Structure 1
Amino acid sequence: MKLIIRNATIIDPNGLHHNQKRDLKIVGKTIEKIGLNLPSEKDFEEISLENLHLSKGWFDSSVSLGEPGFEDRETITNGLLVAAKSGFTSIALQPNSFPVIDNQSQVQFVKEKARNNAVNLFPIGALTKGSEGNDLAELVDMKNAGAIAFGDYGRNITNANLLKIGLQYVQDFNGLVIAFSQDEKIKGSGVVHEGVVSTRLGLKGIPTLAEELMVARNLFILEYTGGKLHIPTISTAKSVELIKDAKANGLKVTCSVAVHHLLLTDEKLIEFDTRLKVSPPLRDEKNRKALIEGVLDGTIDMITSDHNPIDIEHKKMEFDLAKNGTIGLESAFGALLNILPPDVIISKLTNGKATFGVENHEIKEGASADFTFFNPNLEWTFRKENMLSKSKNSAFLGEKMIGKVYGIYNNGKLVLA
């Protein structure tokens, strides 16, 4: 494809052209020229959009798509289209499918389904067989097949020795272990954050201790073993503090926070809306503010949508019985601009590439063309027609959005929303 992008404000905090308005000439997968008033050329398509901004392509470190096994929730083909129209040029695919992605053939299957797509799909392999927490999965084989990290989605590794062995084992190939942190015994039958709201609603609570105890344990194991650990979707002030101290002590630990934990609190649960049932649960305002501070001071390395499509049969039911999860790709950018400046958002949507070993292409002549297009100033409301996923379980339905994604350019392909 041959393309000229007109009058794009480049948002690239550490790049050569940050906050500069430029034209970009793209041939295939390569940036040929960046400059002012580039001449039109025969056979070149041109893009000129209102208040067009351009950044490095965004990366989401936690996306679930269902396929194989749960195609009624989402397929890989449609899920990647959703990602593209939401501004993401690369996603890390969680292994919570059926069967679980816990071997070489499953990694190859999802990669083949995503081949020749505008969005890069990077599989996360399950750390344990079937994500059951009993035995390590085929980590080396999955690494060789293309897995970029290993973790059991939404499941705590109860066996501390198994996590220890996993962290030691992957060091042979510089692997990354993901450790979702929530003590199941302390969580018990809890479904929401333990506090004033849970008491008022009569719902069983999940104390912050359930997360913090496991974060502390996992960091102690990391200190013993060495290696690299990623703690996803933290939700409490104490978790931020524990990880901050661990980093100060030289541990190789990174963490993420989900968009919904930065924007929403348990006060939204007043109508028992199961779209808001997520894991970890929405916390109170004190914890929400601490998470934002963790983003701003650099303790939290990346922001994820934690996109998890759930079919209506498993969402539209009693709160206690409904499955956890919200879709989040479509609303991520528009929601975040309510609380964070564009530069910070772009950094947190691209920094994760370094942690997961995904190439973060520079915006410069001769580099690979890997862009996200957006307008940071449009105000709108997120409605059902804005949900592009097969499942419609969005926690942000009816919420105010700021900023609109126009699309992406990656792998020589243009996708516009």
Structure 2
Amino acid sequence: MNLIIRKATIVDPKSPYHNQTVDIKITNGIIEEIGVSILNIDTHEEFHHDDLHISQGWFDTSVSLGEPGFEDRETIANGLNVAAKSGFTGIALQPNSYPIIDNQSQVHFVKQKAVNSATELFPIGAFTKGSEGKDMAELFDMKNAGAIAFGDYNTSLANANLLKIGLQYVQDFDGLVIAFCQDETIKGNGVANEGIVSTRLGLKGNPNLAEELLVTRNLFLLEYTGGKLHIPTLSTAKSVALIKEAKKRGLQVTCSVSVHHLVMTDEKLEGFDTRYKVSPPLRTDDDRQALIAGVLDNTIDCITSDHNPIDIENKKMEFDLAKNGTIGLESAFGALLVVLPLEKIITKLTFGRTILNFENQVIEVNNKASLTLFTTNDNWTFEKEHILSKSKNSAFLGQKMKGKVIGIYNQGKFVING
């Protein structure tokens, strides 16, 4: 649709209009004009909102949707609608469906399901067949079918040699390997961060060491092989320090952190509420503060919602038995604005495209209109009525929020939240 957005403050450090309040005229999906009091001579639709801000469209590097196989948790169609109303113009889809996305036909299937959506879907192919960690999947075929990277969701690779071979192999086509870091032998039956809270509650502990050992190993492998590696959802202070040192040595490593690890700690587990059971587990406030510092000094490259819908049958049960995961698209921006500066949030919610070598659409005349619209002054509390997903397993219920997502303009479509 053709649109004029009125009196919007642009938040885009790469745009010549950064921090300016202007009108934006969009024709056939392209930014035709940016200025003050643009005349509407072409009968464009108009949009105005109090405290309106606009940035480049946000990109989430880790979203699970369920389909195919777990449509009771979430469908691709509804999941993309949730993403759009949460401010995301693009998402990277995790391969943890049933069947696992580990071949080109599965990549084609999910991409076809996303045709004509305002939010674009980019599949991550499984690194190993069935995400079982035994045999490498058909990486090159999936790349040709449209897979943007390769990794087994929330599953570490015990076989170091397989990761080494994979890092060498994908360099032939500039591929990216995603390596979740958690040593299963150290984790054991741990379901919560090993520390004072887990001891007091009688929950089996999952120590920081489980993550840090694998981060160290995988960085050594990367140094040996070259290539590119992405380490998702860091959760400990030592992991941040390890990544920082690796970047100083010139390794091509990127990393992300989830919103819930920036906002919450293991103190949330006091009521044994399984909504707070996530992987990696919520850690201490010292770890949380180190993660925030890592975002602020750019050691951590991007922030993800790590959106993972889980059906009620797998959440409403004993803490030890419940599945890990929280939904997070709807609450991501409002939760982040409580703990981080606005410009840093926008940078970290858009940097995923840079990691994947996608073109970032700077807010500039003649560029594609890929925009997220939001406010910054609203103060509110996240409640059940704010959940748009089919699954309701949100760790953010009752959480104080700041700022609200209005919607997105992308792919020539304008989607409003509300």
Is residue 371–residue 409 contact of structure 1 (8 Å, CA) maintained in 2? yes
> Structure 1: which 5+ runs fail to align?
none
What is the one-letter code of the residue matched to 1:286? D
Q: 1:410 corresponds to which residue? A: 410
Deviation at 1:15, TM superposition (A): 1.7
Aligned ranges 1:13-412 → 2 under 5 Å: 13-412=13-412
Q: Distance in 2 between matches of 1:35 and 1:145?
A: 41
Deviation at 1:167, TM superposition (A): 0.3
Task: Tell me the secondary structure at the aligned position of residue 389 of structure 2.
Answer: coil
Q: Distance in 2 between matches of 1:358 and 1:184?
A: 34
Structure 1 stretches of at least 4 aligned residues deviating more than 6 Å after TM superposition? none
Task: Tell me the secondary structure at the aligned position of residue 61 of structure 1.
Answer: strand
Q: Distance in 2 between matches of 1:22 and 1:305?
A: 30
> Structure 2: which 5+ runs fail to align?
none
Task: Tell me the secondary structure at the aligned position of residue 337 of structure 1.
Answer: helix
Is residue 14–residue 362 contact of structure 2 (8 Å, CA) maintained in 1? no
Q: Distance in 1 between matches of 2:86 and 2:8?
A: 18
Deviation at 1:116, TM superposition (A): 1.0
What is the one-letter code of the residue matched to 2:129? K
Q: Distance in 1 between matches of 2:162 and 2:185?
A: 18
CA deviations on 1:124-147 (whole Å, 9 max, x unpaired) are: 000000000001000001000000
CA deviations on 1:152-192 (whole Å, 9 max, x unpaired) are: 00000000000000000000000000000000000000000
Q: Distance in 2 between matches of 1:153 and 1:28?
A: 37
Q: Distance in 2 between matches of 1:13 and 1:345?
A: 12
Deviation at 1:29, TM superposition (A): 1.4
Is residue 89–residue 410 contact of structure 1 (8 Å, CA) maintained in 2? yes
Q: Distance in 2 between matches of 1:359 and 1:14?
A: 13
CA deviations on 1:354-384 (whole Å, 9 max, x unpaired) are: 1112221111000000000000110010000
Q: Distance in 1 between matches of 2:136 and 2:28?
A: 41
CA deviations on 1:21-80 (whole Å, 9 max, x unpaired) are: 010110121000001100123431000011110000000000000000000000000000
Task: Tell me the secondary structure at the aligned position of residue 200 of structure 1.
Answer: helix
What is the one-letter code of the residue matched to 2:388? L
Q: Distance in 2 between matches of 1:2 and 1:213?
A: 52
Q: Distance in 1 between matches of 2:359 and 2:272?
A: 42
Deviation at 1:352, TM superposition (A): 1.2
What is the one-letter code of the residue matched to 2:355? T
Q: Distance in 2 between matches of 1:126 and 1:57?
A: 26
Deviation at 1:3, TM superposition (A): 0.5
CA deviations on 1:362-408 (whole Å, 9 max, x unpaired) are: 11000000000000110010000000000000000011000000000
Task: Tell me the secondary structure at the aligned position of residue 133 of structure 1.
Answer: coil
CA deviations on 1:257-295 (whole Å, 9 max, x unpaired) are: 000000000001100000000000000011000000000
What is the one-letter code of the residue matched to 2:184? E
Is residue 255–residue 302 contact of structure 1 (8 Å, CA) maintained in 2? yes
Task: Tell me the secondary structure at the aligned position of residue 328 of structure 2.
Answer: coil
Q: Distance in 1 between matches of 2:21 and 2:201?
A: 51
Q: Distance in 1 between matches of 2:33 and 2:338?
A: 34
Is residue 87–residue 405 contact of structure 1 (8 Å, CA) maintained in 2? yes
Q: Distance in 2 between matches of 1:42 and 1:144?
A: 41
What is the one-letter code of the residue matched to 2:217? R
Is residue 369–residue 410 contact of structure 1 (8 Å, CA) maintained in 2? yes
Task: Tell me the secondary structure at the aligned position of residue 164 of structure 1.
Answer: helix
Is residue 183–residue 211 contact of structure 2 (8 Å, CA) maintained in 1? yes
Task: Tell me the secondary structure at the aligned position of residue 112 of structure 1.
Answer: helix
Greater shift in the superposed pair: 348-357 or 95-104:
348-357
How many residues are matched?
Answer: 417
Is residue 2–residue 29 contact of structure 2 (8 Å, CA) maintained in 1? no
Is residue 148–residue 357 contact of structure 1 (8 Å, CA) maintained in 2? no
Q: Distance in 2 between matches of 1:136 and 1:333?
A: 36
Q: Distance in 1 between matches of 2:112 and 2:328?
A: 24
Deviation at 1:2, TM superposition (A): 1.0
Deviation at 1:14, TM superposition (A): 2.3
Task: Tell me the secondary structure at the aligned position of residue 68 of structure 1.
Answer: coil
Sequence identity, in percent? Answer: 71
Is residue 72–residue 390 contact of structure 1 (8 Å, CA) maintained in 2? yes
CA deviations on 1:280-315 (whole Å, 9 max, x unpaired) are: 000001100000000000100000000000000000
What is the one-letter code of the residue matched to 2:334? G
Deviation at 1:13, TM superposition (A): 1.5
Task: Tell me the secondary structure at the aligned position of residue 290 of structure 1.
Answer: helix
Is residue 375–residue 406 contact of structure 2 (8 Å, CA) maintained in 1? yes
Q: CA RMSD in A?
A: 0.5
CA deviations on 1:308-352 (whole Å, 9 max, x unpaired) are: 000000000000000000000000000000010110000000011
Q: Distance in 2 between matches of 1:187 and 1:60?
A: 27
What is the one-letter code of the residue matched to 2:150? F
Greater shift in the superposed pair: 354-363 or 299-308:
354-363
Q: Distance in 2 between matches of 1:309 and 1:188?
A: 24
Task: Tell me the secondary structure at the aligned position of residue 376 of structure 1.
Answer: coil
TM-score where L is the length of structure 2: 0.99
